[in-house]
Amino acid sequence: MTHKIGEVLTATVTDENEQYYFAQVEGITYEIDKTELLKPLNVGGMVTGFTYENKHSRLQLTKTLPEVRLGHYAWGTVTDIRRDLGVFVNIGLPNKDVVVSLDELPTIKELWPQKGDRLMITLRIDNKDRLWGELAPNEVLNAVRIPAKADMKGKKDVKATVYRLKMVGTLVITSEYKFGFIHPSERDREPRLGEEITARVIGVRPDGLMNLSLKPLAYKAIGEDAQMLLTLLEHAKTHSLPFTDKSDPSDIKDYFSMSKGQFKRAVGNLYKQHKITQDETGIYLVEEAD
């Protein structure tokens, strides 16, 4: 490596112009933007900061140390996406975002992070002296993990960030470093990497891992299904539908996009509210009196 980047170094201030100070480490010169300094530097004095190559491909030193550094893991915010390269992540540098390579991202591009999503990363330097972001591995995350307590069960509106996508389900982490798992059956769509989700806790394992659900509570789901069924009845010419609790489950699934169990609960909901009647041939909308 011909120069040092991604490190916290102490350099000697050697020169200045209107916009920059210049400081050297082992004969290599770094520029320091004067606008980020609270007080001026003295030529011949020492300055400590984080070194990197800025977006103009010039070596720079900043006194504002990013939390994400070599060997240090922290959250960064996605600022841009390039399908042929990866995602750009803001780690707090004045004029530089680091790239998390597409090699570390999901194969399905729809599951890539979007602008505003967060990734927990560190930095690495490749053999061409380029600085990259690198996703935190499981062993690092496990080292900061705080087990959830059993009384978390039943909690609603738990916010967490997706940090890993697996065939068996989605892994998330809260701001308090509690970990959660979302089984595919507990979501209507697969959350993307880096997305913040709001879930409810449906269980807590003995090791403190939370089982989460992105689906509404059963009574809410029944209400939504019932509303859809009611809308279909209102739009039907005869205000009736030829389905009963004896109908074939596949026919119900094809027509309503719901399971037979959901259908029966929706029918029961509407029947209790006196919005429908039913017989062996189908269900009928109760016409409201004017």
Average pLDDT over residues 203-212: 94
Can you tell me the distance from the alpha carbon of 69 to that of 241, in angstroms, rounded to the nearest whole number? Answer: 63
Residue 224's pLDDT is what?
81
Average pLDDT over residues 265-284: 91
86-107: string of b/e by CB count within 10 Å (b at 16+)? bbbbebbbeebbbbbebeebee
Amino acid type, 239 = H
Residue 256: count other Cβ atoms within 10 Å of its Cβ. Answer: 18
Can you tell me the distance from the alpha carbon of 41 to that of 24, in angstroms, rounded to the nearest whole number? Answer: 14
Average pLDDT, the chain: 92
Residue 2's pLDDT is what?
56
DSSP state of 14: E
Which of 67, 1, 56, 7 minimizes the C-alpha distance to 31? Answer: 56
Percent of the chain with pLDDT over 90: 77
Residue 72's pLDDT is what?
93
Task: Give the architecture-level CATH label for domain 147-213.
Answer: Beta Barrel (2.40)
Fold topology of 74-136? OB fold (Dihydrolipoamide Acetyltransferase, E2P) (2.40.50)
Residue 249's pLDDT is what?
93
pLDDT in tens, 46-88: 999 999 999 888 999 999 999 999 999 999 999 999 999 999 9
| In CATH, 8-62 is 2.40.50.330 | yes
Fold topology of 218-285? Arc Repressor Mutant, subunit A (1.10.10)
Residue 227's pLDDT is what?
86
Query: Where exactly are the structural domains of the chain?
Result: 8-62, 74-136, 147-213, 218-285
Which of 100, 106, 93, 103 minimizes the C-alpha distance to 119? Answer: 100
Whether 1 has a pLDDT exceeding 80, the answer reads no
* Same fold: 8-62 with 147-213: yes
Average pLDDT over residues 5-31: 94
Residue 290's pLDDT is what?
46
pLDDT in tens, 134-191: 999 999 999 999 999 999 998 989 999 999 999 999 999 999 999 999 999 899 899 9
Tokens of 116: 């505003």
